[in-house]
Structure 1
Amino acid sequence: SFWRFGNGYNEVSTINNLLDNGFESFAPNLEILGDLLDEQEILEELASSNIKLIEYLRQREVLEKLIEYIITEEDDLVDDSQKNEKNDDDSNNNNNDNNDNEEDESKSESSDYKRRKSLNSNSDSDSDDVQNYDQPETIQEIHSRRAQVAAEILSADAWSLTDSFMDNHDLLSKLWSVLDKPCPLSMVLSTYFMKINEHLLDMKIDEMLNFLLHQNNLVDRFLKHIDNPPLMDFLLKVISTDKQDIPTGIIDLLKSQNLVSKLISFLDPKVNASVQSAAGDFIKAFVTISANSNTDNSTIGPNELTRELVSEKIMNQLCELMLKGGTSLANGVGIIIEIIRKNNSDYDFVPVLFITIESHPPTSRDPIYLGHLIKVFSKNIPKFASLLKDTKLPPMDTPFGSIEPLGFERFKICELIAELLHCSNMGLLNDEKGEEIVRERDIERERVIALEKQQDDEEGEEGEGAQNEAGDEDSDHEASKVIKRLSISSTEQDNEEDKTTEKEEVKEKDVTTDDDKDSTPTENKPSLEIQSEPDSDADTTLEIQYDEHETQIRKNPVVGDQLKIALADNQVILVILNMFFCFPWNNFLHNVVFDIVQQILNGSMDIGYNKYLAIDLFGRGEINKLIIEGQQKCEDYEQTNGLRLGYMGHLTLIAEEVVKFTALYPPNTIHQIVYDAVSTPEWTVYVTETLVDTREKYNALLGGSVEDEGGDETTEDNITPGEVDDDYNTTGNNRSLDSHEEDDEEGDNNRGNNESDDVEGDQFSRYMSQQLTNDLPDKFGSSDEDEEDD
């Protein structure tokens, strides 16, 4: 009939016909499984809860056959077919005839499937299509199609089927034998594996976690295929089940199997670059889901794996690999950046500086401490500085001529320095007691973990009976030794803290004395606006005080200052600043340099070593001179080539930061070096003329302003250049500057002046009222006339 289901309920499906022979002597008939998998409607029947189909598929023998379809790869089929051909040559003619008949049957089976498919899909096929369908499928094509359907069946939302599968642990182990196959693993097979296991993890999470926790070599089996995205994505999903409020023990299992150290070892330059990148991507993804966030439900929070990742041992291992350059450096920098951005202690829900062990006992989910990271990289700054200075690349031809390329390694080092500088400004790393508090909590955390482990061992041994009494005694003795060792470490730490406290008390007295000395000359210091020349005696006293304070900081620096001191001693900031002008077309570098300068100039000038980095920018760095020279080079290049240099947008941003810094901190209150730098006639001309002109160009309205019929401007966009400059000074670095085409609108700035924001608001209200009351066609006409007059 015309309708496919013409008489509705009278038609019996092919699947039901096959299932009539589904059981023989109470055992499933596996011979019909292939025909079932060839049917297009099998997934629809399964979704509609076909009882006969589900009852057949949930049999253990059928499930095992489905898994065999999935885990058997096409290469294995080719090997089997070659073996069969060899056996056929050794057999007699009768056996050959029988084998030929079997092959004919498989071919006819395949062609029957194709014909059924063609009839169901399109009854108007032409002669060419019929010829194509007469061509039988290969063994590999048949197997691939059936494996796909088998994977869909095992991942279908059928509770009865899922229960039956999970009741047979040997079937699950057989499916997981995929991980034991040699590399590289088929991407199709990996996808099937991930799809089925994700379904089981969602439907039967307790049983799946119990299965995973009994895998003694779980890490090694997954890392064998580390460059296989589906498998590593599934491992991430398994880790994400271990949340702070619902722990599952997966993180402890992975830590016991040394997941972190094994991942870091993949970053070695001896390892293939693709494997290095895969390991780096997995670590960054893991750090992301372990972010210290109280609002994101998709994260699991800090844990013992991330705590191990930022430990001194792992950081030393990672830093050593990064210093070898290449892909190791690139991946390492990406990991460090992700760690710092996802674990900013300034945003801790409960800052560690304001809690005690008694009020908030340490747990495995405490925020991680980045002090070890900063310490390790501070010690290795000289080596990174050498890479930055010594790397030279051959010239590269560009439309702008032959230039020296920056290179990926140098850019990554600049990114690393900028991010480490961000990290060193965290409050916890600049507190004198921060490191001691964290160390105390670490010791207490280890003690608690050891006690919990001892209790778990005792409970397990009690269940085994009296035959393990000797083992109990050994375990208790071993746990006691661990606790004793931790107690000794804690006692030694307390002694060190007492000595440190005494030193701090002496230091505080010295600092107080210095502050008393600072107060008198600071109060009597002449203002820059009143007196052009600073008092020499006051400046000399100020310089001496700053030098003494710097010496004091260097004697016992906090963790954050250790990095800043290393950067200053190795002139890393100055080298990066000069690179800004050496590579005028690399905007990625320009953005990083601006970030570094902005951090330093916006940092604290009262405590810590940051103010000495700022002074160094004006002293050895000569930042004012570099800005003026960069502006002049751009003007010369523009006259010759008609183009502006690529760094001009960021150069203006840096200049604005310098002006804002000198306005916030009068130069004569910082250091004589700063005063001398900003008092030169060249800098004064640049600030009062060049920078002002640049502001006007950047703030010019694109397209001009709207005028009414009388020629007066009546919109809120009516802003004078002076007003724009004032607003610009207050917003500073939040304004985005365009470094091109700013000269096109100089002649369009003849706009009227408003006396205040209130006047602007009144004018805008009158303008809107006029727009609403006037006749629209007339208004459009007057607007056109105004445009023609313009």
Structure 2
Amino acid sequence: MSFWPFTNSLNSNNQLQKFLDGVVDFSSISVNDIFEDSGLSQELISELHNIKGNFKSNITNFSLSQQLQSSDLITNGQTGTNSDVVSLTSSNTDNGGTGSTKDSRGVKLVELLLQPHILNGLLDFLVDSVDYFHDQTVKELEELEKSLNEGTNHLASESESESETESESESESEVRSTLDQNDSVSQTHIEEDEDDDTNSKETKDEKFRRCVQAASDILSIDLWIISNRIIETPSIMSKLWQILRLDNLKVSSPTVNYLIHILDQLMDTNSIELLNFIRRQDDLVDTFLEKVEIPMLMDFFLRIIQTDKPQSPTGIIETLSSQNLIPKLIEILKPHPSQFVKDSKIPNHDLFFKQTASTDFIKALVTISSNTALAVVLETNIGPNQLTRELVSPPIIKSIINDIMLYKPPSPSIDDNNNNNNNPRPTNKHGISNCVGIIIELIRKNNSDYDLYCGSYGELIQNGENGPSEVNSFVMFQWLKDFDQNPPGPRDPVYLGDMLTLFSENLDKFAELLDENPIPPDNVIGEVLGFTRFKISELVAELLHCSNMILLNSKKIKKIIKIRDHIRSQQKKRIKKALNETIDFPEASDESIQDVTMGLDDVSLDDIHFENESSSDGNYRSIIESLDAIEDSEDEEPAISPENPFVCEERDQTIRLNPCIGDYFKIKLIDSKILLDVITMFTQFPWHNFFHNVVFDLIQQIFNGKLNSYNSFLIVELFKPDKCNLIDLIVEKYKEDIEPKPGYRGHLILISEEIVKFTSLYKPDLISPIIVDAISLEEWDWFVEEVLLKTREVYNVVLGAEPEESENGKIDGDAFDASTVGYLDLDSYENNNKNLIILGDSSNHELFIHDKSADHDHEDEDEDDDHDHEDEDEDDEDDDDDDDSMDELDIPDVRIQNMSPTGNIGRNENRIDDEYDHRGGFQTDYHENDFLEHLSGSSSSDDEDDEHSNELRRVPKHNE
């Protein structure tokens, strides 16, 4: 025994060295010979990891072939087993023979593993492991069920066993003596067999698991020569791919992990060859969809799709499209009657899990196919493509709506329905949830409003009159119709217009689902919101987002999109025809090759014509020129005034005659009464905060939508007394004396802030007198003054602040008691001189953030007056810089209620100066006629030119 306590390199891998030295004919060695001994297999894998660096980077194909040829000499017995001539280009520079021996061992080991029968044997272990692990799982489940049953029977027979205890104890001594004799005989046999079986401690199951693990480690090792041999041998690749098709390959099988490691290694080292192999699989889509519930396999499937980028296409997307990936995924989502059988267990749970997995895969596909500006990870994003375009196509969306979301399950029997007389009908809530998740992801990842790259037209965005601006319909239209810079192609942005149109047409049916009372869970008393109504409300809110997109609010853009779709389809047909044509090559020459390429290039845009068009020649360029005559809502400002507001019967009829897609959805949102239904349910479920957030999102989107559209009608709908009536809803719920306070109160505050912000940024009387009447109510004035103001004070408190005492020992009125944070009952503080902030007024943003007090002590009045006079002089000298100097001005306090028509909607800065007492207070007397005289103004608007006084836009001071 060596005295050296550490591993001796000369003695390392002795077992492997002896094994390789004894190999004369590779064909006589099997995988079982390699894996028979656990120590040998461990040394083999360790040796592969040691030599992979040399084979990976320091040995060329030529030098490796020389080494393998030299190894062949060793195999044929023409040289000694310890010959040094094997190491031709080794990086090992040892002067002794150790390095050469090591190189010889590594080359011979690699050559052994490259033998076809060895690689097949390794794959056989993986193939056999699928059934093995499946049988083990079944056996474990049976044993578990058996033990559960035995446990139940044991409790039942426990009393009987106690009565038999005495009789068993009498024969216990006899049994022990018999067992002792049997043990002595068995021990003798075990000692005799130990020498015959050196691995007696390793069971058969343990050995098989070890062999499977070792086979996987060898096949997935980062050694390019092994990866090359696998990918270049059709029989090996076919057997490897065949594992994916095995029926017993389940999500719990360890074989999945082994298989993915091998495929990942091939993808890293031989991606081109692997993708070529994958594209040739006629059942590629079916193979993966059969295993859609296995996350690791579907992740690898996504990785395959991610190789097909616009800059470096691999053809995978076209292959998947030709094999109907999207229709087959939607087919999985379609419900089956067996899913709605009333049972204590989940009916048809396998289909439930498969549908959920399919939904997750579709959403993941949409995520990696998003617009560049919305990409989660830019490196793995492939942009819009044919698959996502198919997902929003009319046939697929119709199937989603009619076959899944509006599917009516079989009604339960009367005996099973232990509910009230309403007899609620079950819905496909699982399918609705899946489809809503897909639609939401589609909308969020395909919003072209964020795509600021528009070729040379992007300069119109970056160099606008007021600096960089948002994408608008004019720029988008110019970019889409410029086929020279932006020719139609498979990676065009995905157009959501058809999808939104189909949902708009079916809003009436979704409204019926909202009216259906859900079947409450067992032991639940009272009405519940239900998963179906929640998800439909969430869908409506997201579709409203979609309806505000630029692409969906322009009639010209809608038509240019249709033209691009037609041209794209014509290009696809012509390219497919050119590729399928049989071309004879009488003589291989440059001219014949040129003829072939001309067949592919002969897909000109100029010779694409449209049928049933009014244009004389039907050429698409002349059709595009005719689109300039179409007017959009943004092309001109409507003639409106307080006497002729935007929302009126005449304009309603005009928009309804020929609405854009965005307006069409908003029209259906009112006509189906789905907007009213959603907002009505807001207070019916006081503790469903997720639903409250959805309703708030819906209302917020309406208030922030474009006014020069049908969105203004939605705004008026929110204020109508016989409709949503938000003002009455907010005031009524805050006047109710309920304990505990309902959970929706926080969202009511957020909604009220949106109302105040809207009425301060815009001119309500130019939209509709209904808005003016609503915000002029005394109840609204009470709410703003008594609730909203005090709530904002609470939100502005610095947590943990201690009240300060003045010189006379009294608590300073400006100090806020931190103990009151979170309560709205602040009557004890209503006389304090708080800093009053206008909600939604960006002009006092700094005042709001830094909490600057506008109240001044008496000793600083003269200084402040001087400061005000200096500001006035500066304003006289530099009148053109009013907006730039806003942050430097000391803005006076304005009470919140004065932002509503109760005060003076139309007051300008001069009017504020009249009302404001420069000693720090407000005049208490208001003139009733001020409201009528200045109705068209906003709470803090500047003097405006007459020509711009009646436009549907934000007032100057509030431009953000």
TM-score class normalised by the smaller sequence = 0.7 to 0.9
Instruction: Find out whether 1:552 has 2:654 as its counterpart.
Output: yes
CA displacement 1:565-618 (0-9 Å, x = unmatched) = 11110111111111110011000001110000000011121x211000110111
Of 421, 435, 448, the residue aligned with 1:332 is 435
State the Cα distance separating 1:542 from its structure 2 match.
3.5
SS at match of 1:246: coil
Instruction: Find out whether 1:286 has 2:365 as its counterpart.
Output: yes
Task: Determine the C-alpha separation between the residues in 2 that align with 1:500 and 1:570.
Answer: 35
CA displacement 1:647-705 (0-9 Å, x = unmatched) = 11111000111111222233322212212212222112111222212222222221115
Q: Is 1:226–1:232's contact at 8 Å kept on the other side of the alignment?
A: yes
CA displacement 1:478-502 (0-9 Å, x = unmatched) = 9999999973448579979999999
Task: Determine the C-alpha separation between the residues in 2 that align with 1:646 and 1:109.
Answer: 77
CA displacement 1:144-174 (0-9 Å, x = unmatched) = 2211121111111111111222221210111
User: In the alignment, what sits opposite 1:323?
Assistant: 406
Instruction: Find out whether 1:678 has 2:775 as its counterpart.
Output: yes
Change (3 A) 1:664 1:495: farther
Of 268, 274, 280, the residue aligned with 2:353 is 274
User: In the alignment, what sits opposite 1:157?
Assistant: 222
State the Cα distance separating 1:724 from its structure 2 match.
5.6
Instruction: Find out whether 1:564 has 2:666 as its counterpart.
Output: yes
CA displacement 1:5-42 (0-9 Å, x = unmatched) = 45432455212222223442665444422236663333
State the Cα distance separating 1:323 from its structure 2 match.
1.8
Change (3 A) 1:648 1:22: farther
Task: Determine the C-alpha separation between the residues in 1 that align with 2:32 and 2:520.
Answer: 68
SS at match of 1:433: helix
Q: Residue type of the partner of 2:335?
A: P
User: In the alignment, what sits opposite 2:515?
Assistant: 389
Of 724, 738, 742, the residue aligned with 1:621 is 724
CA displacement 1:313-366 (0-9 Å, x = unmatched) = 111111221222221111100000111111101012326422212221111111
Q: Residue type of the partner of 1:570?
A: S
Of 336, 343, 366, the residue aligned with 2:446 is 343
Task: Determine the C-alpha separation between the residues in 2 that align with 1:207 and 1:716.
Answer: 74
Change (3 A) 1:78 1:614: closer
Q: Is 1:424–1:560's contact at 8 Å kept on the other side of the alignment?
A: yes
Q: Residue type of the partner of 1:565?
A: I
SS at match of 1:557: coil
Q: Is 1:415–1:592's contact at 8 Å kept on the other side of the alignment?
A: yes
Of 529, 535, 542, the residue aligned with 1:412 is 535
State the Cα distance separating 1:730 from its structure 2 match.
3.4
Change (3 A) 1:407 1:265: same
Task: Determine the C-alpha separation between the residues in 2 that align with 1:448 and 1:600.
Answer: 41
Task: Determine the C-alpha separation between the residues in 1 that align with 2:231 and 2:194.
Answer: 37
Task: Determine the C-alpha separation between the residues in 2 that align with 1:499 and 1:9.
Answer: 83
Instruction: Find out whether 1:18 has 2:19 as its counterpart.
Output: yes
User: In the alignment, what sits opposite 1:697?
Assistant: 794
Instruction: Find out whether 1:587 has 2:689 as its counterpart.
Output: yes
Change (3 A) 1:444 1:156: same
Change (3 A) 1:384 1:479: farther
Of 108, 113, 138, the residue aligned with 1:52 is 108
SS at match of 2:372: coil
Change (3 A) 1:502 1:389: farther
User: In the alignment, what sits opposite 1:368?
Assistant: 494
After TM superposition, the structure 1 = structure 2 runs for residues 431-450 of structure 1, keeping only pairs within 5 Å, are 431-450=554-573
After TM superposition, the structure 1 = structure 2 runs for residues 185-584 of structure 1, keeping only pairs within 5 Å, are 185=250, 187-270=253-336, 272-293=351-372, 296-320=378-402, 321-324=404-407, 325-348=428-451, 349-350=453-454, 352-355=476-479, 356-394=482-520, 402-458=525-581, 461-462=583-584, 487-489=609-611, 491=613, 515-516=638-639, 518=640, 522=641, 525=642, 538=643, 541-542=644-645, 546-584=648-686
Q: Is 2:279–2:316's contact at 8 Å kept on the other side of the alignment?
A: yes
User: In the alignment, what sits opposite 1:766?
Assistant: none
Q: Is 2:279–2:319's contact at 8 Å kept on the other side of the alignment?
A: yes
Q: Is 2:371–2:384's contact at 8 Å kept on the other side of the alignment?
A: yes
Instruction: Tell which structure's C-alpha radius of gyration is larger.
Output: 2
Q: Residue type of the partner of 1:17?
A: K
Q: Which runs of no fewer than 5 residues in structure 1 stay unpaired?
A: 81-103, 114-133, 467-475, 526-537, 736-748, 760-790
Task: Determine the C-alpha separation between the residues in 2 that align with 1:395 and 1:224.
Answer: 33
SS at match of 1:581: coil
The alignment yields a C-alpha RMSD, in angstroms, of 4.1
Change (3 A) 1:19 1:574: same
Task: Determine the C-alpha separation between the residues in 2 that align with 1:434 and 1:667.
Answer: 30
Q: Is 1:306–1:368's contact at 8 Å kept on the other side of the alignment?
A: yes
Q: Is 1:586–1:646's contact at 8 Å kept on the other side of the alignment?
A: yes
State the Cα distance separating 1:554 from its structure 2 match.
0.5
Task: Determine the C-alpha separation between the residues in 2 that align with 1:726 and 1:673.
Answer: 26
Task: Determine the C-alpha separation between the residues in 2 that align with 1:142 and 1:167.
Answer: 31
State the Cα distance separating 1:448 from its structure 2 match.
2.1
State the Cα distance separating 1:465 from its structure 2 match.
9.5
Change (3 A) 1:731 1:478: closer
Task: Determine the C-alpha separation between the residues in 2 that align with 1:109 and 1:240.
Answer: 57
Change (3 A) 1:158 1:694: same
Q: Is 1:705–1:717's contact at 8 Å kept on the other side of the alignment?
A: yes
Q: Which runs of no fewer than 5 residues in structure 2 stay unpaired?
A: 52-105, 137-189, 340-350, 408-427, 455-474, 589-597, 819-828, 865-960
User: In the alignment, what sits opposite 1:8?
Assistant: 9
Change (3 A) 1:496 1:51: closer
Q: Is 1:337–1:416's contact at 8 Å kept on the other side of the alignment?
A: yes
State the Cα distance separating 1:627 from its structure 2 match.
0.7
State the Cα distance separating 1:420 from its structure 2 match.
0.5
Q: Is 1:37–1:149's contact at 8 Å kept on the other side of the alignment?
A: no
SS at match of 1:51: helix
Of 599, 619, 632, the residue aligned with 2:735 is 632
SS at match of 2:798: coil
Q: Is 2:553–2:662's contact at 8 Å kept on the other side of the alignment?
A: yes
User: In the alignment, what sits opposite 2:241?
Assistant: 176
Q: Is 1:567–1:573's contact at 8 Å kept on the other side of the alignment?
A: yes
Q: Is 2:393–2:499's contact at 8 Å kept on the other side of the alignment?
A: yes
Q: Is 2:500–2:665's contact at 8 Å kept on the other side of the alignment?
A: yes
Task: Determine the C-alpha separation between the residues in 2 that align with 1:360 and 1:616.
Answer: 41
Task: Determine the C-alpha separation between the residues in 2 that align with 1:464 and 1:230.
Answer: 50
TM-score (norm 1): 0.75
Change (3 A) 1:674 1:648: same
Task: Determine the C-alpha separation between the residues in 2 that align with 1:629 and 1:282.
Answer: 46
Change (3 A) 1:478 1:707: closer
User: In the alignment, what sits opposite 1:99?
Assistant: none
TM-score (norm 2): 0.62
State the Cα distance separating 1:477 from its structure 2 match.
13
Q: Residue type of the partner of 2:317?
A: I
Task: Determine the C-alpha separation between the residues in 1 that align with 2:630 and 2:6.
Answer: 95
Task: Determine the C-alpha separation between the residues in 2 that align with 1:566 and 1:591.
Answer: 23
Instruction: Find out whether 1:730 has 2:828 as its counterpart.
Output: no
Of 24, 39, 64, the residue aligned with 2:120 is 64
SS at match of 2:841: helix
Task: Determine the C-alpha separation between the residues in 2 that align with 1:71 and 1:717.
Answer: 73
Change (3 A) 1:278 1:78: closer
Task: Determine the C-alpha separation between the residues in 2 that align with 1:362 and 1:291.
Answer: 18
State the Cα distance separating 1:203 from its structure 2 match.
0.4
Q: Is 1:21–1:29's contact at 8 Å kept on the other side of the alignment?
A: no
Q: Residue type of the partner of 1:208?
A: L
Q: Is 1:718–1:754's contact at 8 Å kept on the other side of the alignment?
A: no
Q: Is 2:682–2:695's contact at 8 Å kept on the other side of the alignment?
A: yes
Identity %: 37
Q: Residue type of the partner of 1:726?
A: I
User: In the alignment, what sits opposite 1:657?
Assistant: 754
Task: Determine the C-alpha separation between the residues in 1 that align with 2:264 and 2:650.
Answer: 63
